[in-house]
Amino acid sequence: MTVFAENKRYYSLNQAYRETFGGKIFKVPVDAGFDCPNRDGTVAKGGCTFCSVSGSGDMIVAPSEPLPVQFQKEIHMMHQKWPGVEQYIVYFQNFTNTHAPVEVIKERFEQVVNLPGVVGLSVGTRPDCLPPEVVDYLAQLNERLYLWVELGLQSTFEATGELINRAHDYQTYLDAVANLRKHKIQVCTHLINGLPGESLEMMRENVRRVILDSDIQGIKLHLLHLMRNTKMLRDYHEGRLQLMSRKDYVDVICDQLEMIPQEIIIHRLTGDAPWDSLVGPKWSLKKWEVLNAIDEELLRRDSYQGKFDLRKGGVGHAKCASL
């Protein structure tokens, strides 16, 4: 088994940062004021059914402040827990951060590129918001500093995409990854476990397809957080959505890790949600207990990331092939 850092059995983002920069890095979330084409009528209205009114930026400290002020407030809060960190990656997190004319994107990104200690950017966006001129600008940024583009795919199944009102198909995702990789831009794909109608086998199949179909360097695995004031709440109340148990979540995460090649960086294995707007699963609020349970299950299995590496002929979970 490959020796992973920090007593983990997978290649964590923290380990990758330390290998690249020689020390701890803060990933600093900001809200750059972009909207989403799935909300403003460009491709649809209402947004994905799991998305809250503030997008994915519920935890951002001061989303209405200018970007340099947001950055300073975020790192001030982080320094209270981890003093001494001097290198930062600015995470354009909220909504779709390439959904604007390229001139607007440049103006907002350049506000943070030269802030003291900034060594890189991570740009959260949708696969259908990467026209050639935007990809060209991202390619220029990739020559200047450390860059990730994070694509919110969530599921590879078209029926799921329709059910959650995603408003783009799987091929659009594949094309976006291919266009980014022409410029050697690092791509991190987001998948959500626990979406309405998806079985554990489908969740495993999502990882299998993404690994075999697209040239990605990172993956972010989320638990579905059911939030107040979202359209998905109706699915829950009408019985179309069953919230995952912690055991099922831990088991499927370990199955997914076993399929993922060891060189792919694991950006996240669960997420954060504000306790006062989370409907469920409530066990997800104890994030470190969930991460510890994943570590313990991998140890119990005597397993690790890449044990059944799909790109080296591993089959992963047997039921994946039957879908």
CATH class of 13-301: alpha beta
Q: What is the pTM of this model?
A: 0.93
The answer to whether 304 and 9 have CB atoms below 8 angstroms apart is yes
How many C-beta neighbours within 10 Å does residue 15 have? 16
**Token pair belonging to 153:** 């795919």
> Is the bond leading into 281 cis (omega within 30 degrees of zero)?
yes
Q: What is the pLDDT along the chain (323 residues), one digit of tens a residue?
A: 567 987 899 999 999 999 999 999 999 999 999 999 999 989 988 889 898 765 454 566 677 899 999 999 999 999 999 999 999 999 999 999 999 999 999 999 999 999 999 999 999 999 999 999 999 999 999 999 999 999 999 999 999 999 998 989 999 999 999 999 999 999 999 999 999 999 999 999 999 999 999 999 999 999 999 999 899 998 898 888 999 999 999 999 999 999 999 999 999 999 888 888 899 999 999 999 999 999 999 999 999 999 999 988 876 554 444 45
**Token pair belonging to 49:** 């059914």
The backbone torsions φ and ψ at residue 36, rounded to the nearest 5 degrees and listed phi first, read -130, 135
318 exposure class (CB count in 10 Å sphere: 0-12, 13-18, 19+): exposed
pLDDT of residue 319: 45
pLDDT of residue 318: 42
pLDDT of residue 321: 42
SS3 103: helix
**What CA–CA distance (Å, rounded) separates 199 from 193?**
9
**What CA–CA distance (Å, rounded) separates 230 from 280?**
13
